[in-house]
């Protein structure tokens, strides 16, 4: 799938682990994130 949505956070974590190693994941915040989300 080009775009995929998981039905829960635990499903998403399992699916991400199938395709990526921990070292390949990057945690970042967008500059406008505080304006978009409460």
Q: Which residues are known catalytic residues?
A: 4
How many whole angstroms separate alpha carbon 38 and alpha carbon 27? 19
Residues 6+ apart with CB under 8 A from 30: 36
């Amino acid at each position: 799938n080009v775009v995929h949505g998981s039905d829960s956070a635990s499903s998403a974590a399992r699916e991400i682990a199938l395709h990526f190693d921990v070292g390949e994941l990057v945690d970042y915040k967008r500059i406008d994130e505080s304006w978009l989300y409460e």
